[in-house]
A and B are shown apart, each in its own frame.
Chain A
Amino acid sequence: MKFRVDRDVLADAVAWTARSIPARPGTIPQLAGILMVAGPDGLELSGFDYETSAHAQLPVEVADEGKALISGRLLADICRALPDRPVDVSMDGAKVSLTCGSSRFSMQTMPVEDYPALPELPPVVGSVDGDAFAAAVAQAVTAAGRDDMLPVLTGVKLEIEGATISLLATDRFRLSLRELDWRPEQNEFSANALVPAKVLGDTARSLTGGSALQVALAADGGGSDGLIGFSWTAGGSDRRTTTRLIDGSFPNVRQLFPATSETTAVVEVAALVEAVRRVSLVAGRNTPIRLTFSDAQVSLEAGNGEEAQASESLDAALDGEPITIGFNPTYLLDGLGAITGSHVHVAMTLPARPAAFAGMPGEDAEPDLQFRYLLMPLRMQG
């Protein structure tokens, strides 16, 4: 094995591949490695933890074909620190030697034969604009659960119906729903997939420069194989990743959005975020920040008389009955951070019923319902 590769292309591809290497490979030490294959199509890098696979193909001029399995963690650390020069990689007995400028590294290899085969990419079912996908996923994962006790809720549900993908995530306290346009291969395509939120988020973050993303899904959408794959081009390499879908049925949460609301309010997002940050400083863990909407204003309050208290008022355009409602400040900030636009549209019914948040491009614009965030209020003492 012998090839020369651009430093940035290699470092970017290695860093991305290394993300799907298990932190603790356990009984299969080979999984801690990145498989490097130099062939007629260039250089291939693979990482796998039996759940998620990552595969990057780099356009590299290969002098000698061959393959090697080397510690992914070490390779990523080395590549990140290399000077900006072309990198020469070659096999040196049982070791891989890497030269960049005047730095030289020699790395131990692991037996290639024991490395598991990566899953095949399922059939491509359509494509989506990379930037749009990245933005949609970033919003959708806001509400995804992190508690492994409830594995179903650590996923993002993709509901594909024709030219629209709905992304749903919830941790039972809040819910995010994002609608996204895409281009299915077949017009009538319909499928459901429950994808680990972490993998989806990582994929979205590595999308750069408006490249298109191919979506690949096992034919029956989560049946026998239960595998979803994505392929795209980033950082000068072709990448594809596959991940196992989460087993189990995602709760039917769409109907949780109230059909009507008693009170709607429009508030400037940036000012509200600032105010919530300040006032919530005195709110303890799991204690609410209280929002009172009345008289074209929203007053924020937190804390209690015994320890510390804070309050602040902002202008708000109000429609409907005055209402006082309490939220977990962290969840409120998460939601306000996820919506886009200069203003937020808050639709409320009762202090004990969930409130729906949507972004607005301007004060008098229609709420942008492409992304909606539903937040359950906290009970207020007294």
Chain B
Amino acid sequence: MRVVIARCQVDYAGKLTAHLPMATRMIMVKADGSVLVHSDGGSYKPLNWMAPPCTFTESMQPGGYVEWLVESRGGDTLRVLLEEVQSDSTYELGDDPGLQKDGVEKHLQQLLAEHPATLGDGLTLVQREYPTAIGPVDLLCRVTRAAVIVVDLDEPSAADDPIPAGEPPAGHVAVEIKRKATIDAVEQLTRYLDLLNRDPLLTPVRGVLAAQSIVPQARTLAEDRGIVCALVDYDELRGLASVEDRLF
């Protein structure tokens, strides 16, 4: 990220033409090649800009001015004439983790860690973010007694279904939590289960995919691999947070 504060004049030519007379502004040159010209106002919106892909050339003009020429593939040009540069700094920002619209997934993990019984009777939490060689599992729970995994929290009656015959009653459960569970989530959980089941102290480890919504293909794949899909109701779980202070 290159940030330049300078007295400059900016001209855009191409699909439309626009002219910014000489004044002090902030110019951002981003790693993706985009160039944005900002004034000290107008919130997030640049006065003018060029979106990538584009080419950037810097040249000296008569009179000692530095000229930047930013050219898009379509032939549009953004021409920045720098009269006086007050500051020119470049920073390495690194990879951005991206926008987290809300912390729902994190919060779901916290809520389910507090109330593992909503995923199945007899589950107790061992650890949040249980580490494995390929990354942490959201929740690792111990099955203290013949556990009944709630297949679908929207249908509490499902809790009455016993676990399939032949399944050992004790062991552990690895829970992967998503807002929307896709095939990728199933694959991820499968890899965790593969690793966790090699640990003689943990095995057998079964998998639970807990999500607010599960795409049909993911559900099919999960069930094929013996992974239980659990639909969780975020709002209901939030209500559970203070369950001890409630009448019912």
Using a CB–CB distance below 8 Å, which chain A residues touch chain B? Answer: 149, 170, 172-175, 251, 253, 256, 328, 352, 354, 374, 376-379
Contacts and interface: CB of A to CB of B under 8 A. Distances in A.
Nearest to A143: B247
Nearest to A326: B245
Nearest to A378: B245
Nearest to A173: B246
B244 A374 contact: no
A379 B245 CA distance: 7
A92 to B, nearest CB: 50
A354 B247 contact: yes
Interface residues on B, range: under 10
A200 to B, nearest CB: 21
A149 B245 CA distance: 18
Nearest to A255: B248
A174 B244 contact: no
Interface in B229-248: 235, 239, 244-248
13 contacts: A149-B235, A170-B247, A172-B246, A172-B248, A173-B246, A256-B247, A328-B245, A352-B244, A354-B247, A376-B245, A376-B246, A376-B247, A379-B244
Contacts of A256: 247-248
B243 to A, nearest CB: 9
Contacts of A354: 247
Nearest to A170: B247
Interface of B: 235, 239, 244-248
Nearest to A376: B247
Contact of B245 (A173, A175, A253, A374): A173
A149 to B, nearest CB: 6
User: Considering residues A172, A175, A328, which has the most beta carbons from chain B within 10 angstroms of its beta carbon?
Assistant: A172
A174 B247 contact: yes
B164 to A, nearest CB: 32
A170 B244 CA distance: 16
B247 A253 contact: yes
A253 B235 contact: no
B235 A172 contact: no
B146 to A, nearest CB: 29
Contacts of B244: 352, 379
Nearest to B238: A149
A175 B235 contact: no
A176 to B, nearest CB: 11
B134 to A, nearest CB: 38
A329 to B, nearest CB: 13
A227 to B, nearest CB: 29
A172 B235 CA distance: 15
B247 A374 contact: yes
A328 B235 CA distance: 22
A173 B247 contact: yes
B153 to A, nearest CB: 16
A377 B247 CA distance: 9
Contacts of B239: 149, 172
Nearest to A149: B235
A376 B248 CA distance: 9
A379 to B, nearest CB: 6
Contacts of A374: 247
Given A253-B248, A376-B247, 14 more contacts: A149-B235, A149-B239, A172-B246, A172-B248, A173-B245, A173-B246, A173-B247, A174-B247, A175-B247, A251-B248, A256-B247, A376-B245, A377-B245, A379-B245
A162 to B, nearest CB: 28
A325 to B, nearest CB: 12
Contacts of B246: 172-173, 376
A192 B248 CA distance: 21
A145 to B, nearest CB: 11
B238 to A, nearest CB: 9
A253 B245 CA distance: 16
A374 B246 CA distance: 11
* Most chain A beta-carbon neighbours within 10 Å: one of B244, B245, B246: B245
